[in-house]
Structure 1
Amino acid sequence: MHTMTMFKPFYLLVLIITISHSTSAQTPSPFNFIEDLQGCHKGNSSTKGLHGLKHYLHQFGYLNYLNQTHLDDDDFDNALESALKTYQRNYRVPQTGALDAATVAKMTSPRCGVPDIVDGINTMARKKHRRRPSKSIHVVANYAFFPNSPRWPSSQTHLTYRFVANTRIDAIAPVNRAFKKWASATHFTFSRVARNAKSDLVVGFFSKDHGDGFPFDGPGGTLAHAFAPTIGSFHYDGDENWVNGAVEGGFDLETIALHEIGHLLGLGHSEFPAAVMFSVVSSGQTKLNLHQDDIEGIKALYNV
């Protein structure tokens, strides 16, 4: 598999869910360092480790310096305060511009690895769509699309998928069920083909650097990722504790499959916590049915 350059073009966006294991001290979240920075605010200088926060915000699109040396210093400057306020607005916490407890809790929570701001476009701010379920009620839908709304061609409503050779046996059935649930709620149909056959979509388990430019980082970090249309790749992190069902300390295979298939079809993240496309996933959690917000998102994206 060749290495892909992120965001050029946009349809190469890769969706990565990152997980903090609150139940396992042996596999801490890679974002836990932010907890040690709680209380920092503009004017702090030489706060040890603050450059890690800058890199976090840079990774997700909030912070870009003309002079990149500032990315590696520990100065809480105006740019960092502004980036924090934008982050806080996106995640619905008070816009203090400081690293308060509410902001730390959000930043150390599970999230998607795709930047929230891409080339200056705040995708979270662009994601609201109006729908009218009745003559008297207006409801704000929370589904989202990628920049430029990549999608499968209108002539390609049947998609084939296959599992790579290293796929866990216990993952086959939950992934199959996830595809059936998307098929039952959309205009798409899916069929599984042999491992050595050509397919539109590919599912597999990988560890660390696996050749697509987005390496996994072992237990406690990135959980899975999938590429927007029409790349068709869906990767689980093989180093995580995968389970079937709501098992404390484990991650449900079908729940993640439902989420990642949504990305394969072109959906971004929903702001609605009950939606499958909500960005947060916790150990022991299951979401086994598509939410109306997920379904309406696909219908809007494909105009069906």
Structure 2
Amino acid sequence: MLLPCRPRHAAGCLLLVVTLLAILSCAAAARPAPAHGRHDGAGWHAFKRLQDARRGSRVTGLGELKRYLAKFGYMPADAGAEHGGEPTDAFDEHLEAAVKRYQTRLSLPVSGRLDAATLDQIMSPRCGVEDDHGASVSPEHGGVGVVSRFTFFKGEPRWTRRSNPIVLTYAVSPKATVSYLTRDDVRAVFRRAFQRWALVIPVSFVETEDYDAADIRLGFYKGSHGDGVPFDGPLGVLGHAFSPKNGRLHLDASEQWALDFGDGTETPESIHLESVATHEIGHVLGLGHSTSPKAVMYPSIKPLQKKADLTVDDVEGVQLLYGSNPDFRLSSLYNELDTSMSSERSSWVAASARLVVGAVLIILVTHL
């Protein structure tokens, strides 16, 4: 039981307060750094004004949101438009249905309105591949689709070769580059990204200098670049890739790409190149977008966020297309998952301790 601090107990109370402050500081120091920082770049940040809009609302910008949702496969392009023209700024039944589909697909609370969590997701930089390109896992896969959240491109296309393992060549365009990254650095990033997938499936990736003859062709481009899917500038669409056996993988040269974080060169708009490269290679192999927010194949990523390590969901999906690398054990990923969950539990305990200590501190201070 806590006793009020009378004057004669002031010294003892002060000592207790200092001790509690020290505990609080230690707990704060043990807290992991945030995965990403605030970003106020371009992209879809203007959608912020739409927060709390719901069916029956009419807000400037809802027409643009309808175009966004149509672009990524959540509603027909002509839905919510007047007489086949431009989408209106009315929050109608078509938009409400699209928002619910979006929330369901991206594992958000399904409210049908533009709450803060939904808008934060919409404003996040993302892959340009439509979310509905992925077909849910079908029943013939042993019921895995009941609990898994990965998807495939329609028709489940995959690379096939007579060799075992399959060998695919890739090349980084000597022309489609960004000035602040060296060619060697970019090649090293893609080498690591390809290796992540090669570790789990019987597919080998071999770099070649012959760009035109390579199975997979990589490059950085701005705006309209000849594939019918133009890029839109910083913090919008980060990149896109085509299903097997097309082999094209394009990244938006307008982004502020980073090789790593923590060296002082990053900005609030920096995007981790290896995370996006690993994601787009998943598309090149035939995977669609996952509904699991932790998966590499989830469609979006925040600035200053790293997400290049394959999850169990990513691995299970790609192994249904190609089988398992004989040297890989899925249990190794489960062990990593257990470690991650333990870390999260420790963070939760530390946060709870801070709350308790903070409450006690307030009580003591008010009685001084």
TM-score normalised to structure 2 length: 0.66
| Amino acid in structure 2 at the alignment position of 1:174 | V
Q: Is the helix fraction higher in 1 or 2?
A: 2
Call closer, same or farther: CA 1:230–1:196 in 2, change over 3 Å: closer
Q: Check if 1:282 corresponds to 2:282.
A: no
Q: C-alpha separation between the residues in 1 aligned to 2:212 and 2:307?
A: 31
Call closer, same or farther: CA 1:294–1:131 in 2, change over 3 Å: farther
| Amino acid in structure 2 at the alignment position of 1:292 | V
Q: C-alpha separation between the residues in 2 aligned to 1:273 and 1:230?
A: 27
Structure 2 counterpart of 1:37: 50
| Amino acid in structure 2 at the alignment position of 1:254 | E
| Amino acid in structure 2 at the alignment position of 1:215 | P
Structure 2 counterpart of 1:298: 318
Residue among 169, 172, 190 paired with 1:160? 169
1:160-217 alpha-carbon deviations (Å, 9 max, x no partner) = 1112112441201111122222222211011111145511011111111111111122
Call closer, same or farther: CA 1:278–1:128 in 2, change over 3 Å: farther
Q: Is the strand fraction higher in 1 or 2?
A: 1
Residue among 41, 62, 67 paired with 2:74? 62
Shift of 1:24: 4.4
Residue among 235, 259, 271 paired with 1:251? 271
Determine if contact 2:106/2:292 at 8 Å carries over to the other structure: no
Call closer, same or farther: CA 1:91–1:256 in 2, change over 3 Å: closer
Which range is displaced more, 92-101 or 292-301? 92-101
Structure 2 counterpart of 1:144: 151
Structure 2 counterpart of 1:262: 282
Call closer, same or farther: CA 1:139–1:96 in 2, change over 3 Å: closer
- Structure 2 matches for 1:47-58, cutoff 5 A? 47-58=59-70
Structure 1 counterpart of 2:16: none
Shift of 1:261: 1.1
Residue among 87, 93, 113 paired with 2:102? 87
Shift of 1:42: 1.8
Call closer, same or farther: CA 1:35–1:112 in 2, change over 3 Å: same
Call closer, same or farther: CA 1:269–1:100 in 2, change over 3 Å: same
| Amino acid in structure 2 at the alignment position of 1:140 | V
Call closer, same or farther: CA 1:85–1:270 in 2, change over 3 Å: closer
Residue among 42, 49, 66 paired with 1:28? 42
Structure 1 counterpart of 2:200: 185
Call closer, same or farther: CA 1:277–1:158 in 2, change over 3 Å: same
User: Which secondary structure does the structure 2 equivalent of 1:69 belong to?
Assistant: coil
Q: C-alpha separation between the residues in 1 aligned to 2:232 and 2:313?
A: 31
Q: C-alpha separation between the residues in 2 aligned to 1:59 and 1:197?
A: 30
Which range is displaced more, 233-242 or 289-298? 289-298
| Amino acid in structure 1 at the alignment position of 2:48 | E
Q: C-alpha separation between the residues in 2 aligned to 1:33 and 1:230?
A: 37
Shift of 1:144: 1.3
Q: Which runs of no fewer than 5 residues in structure 2 stay unpaired?
A: 1-35, 325-368
Q: C-alpha separation between the residues in 1 aligned to 2:258 and 2:115?
A: 35
User: Which secondary structure does the structure 2 equivalent of 1:190 belong to?
Assistant: strand
Determine if contact 1:224/1:237 at 8 Å carries over to the other structure: yes
Call closer, same or farther: CA 1:181–1:44 in 2, change over 3 Å: closer
Identity fraction in percent = 39
- Structure 2 matches for 1:108-257, cutoff 5 A? 108-117=123-132, 123=134, 126-127=136-137, 140-155=147-162, 157-166=166-175, 167=177, 168-169=182-183, 170-196=185-211, 198-247=213-262, 248-249=266-267, 250-257=270-277
Call closer, same or farther: CA 1:291–1:209 in 2, change over 3 Å: same
Determine if contact 2:257/2:273 at 8 Å carries over to the other structure: yes
Q: C-alpha separation between the residues in 2 aligned to 1:128 and 1:111?
A: 26
Shift of 1:58: 1.6
Larger Rg: 2
TM-score normalised to structure 1 length: 0.79
Structure 1 counterpart of 2:117: 102
Call closer, same or farther: CA 1:39–1:23 in 2, change over 3 Å: closer
Q: C-alpha separation between the residues in 2 aligned to 1:232 and 1:80?
A: 34
User: Which secondary structure does the structure 2 equivalent of 1:225 belong to?
Assistant: strand
User: Which secondary structure does the structure 2 equivalent of 1:28 belong to?
Assistant: coil
Q: C-alpha separation between the residues in 2 aligned to 1:128 and 1:245?
A: 38
Which range is displaced more, 199-208 or 96-105? 96-105
User: Which secondary structure does the structure 2 equivalent of 1:217 belong to?
Assistant: coil
Q: Which runs of no fewer than 5 residues in structure 1 stay unpaired?
A: 1-20
Call closer, same or farther: CA 1:254–1:81 in 2, change over 3 Å: closer
Determine if contact 1:128/1:143 at 8 Å carries over to the other structure: no
Structure 2 counterpart of 1:74: 89
Shift of 1:287: 3.1
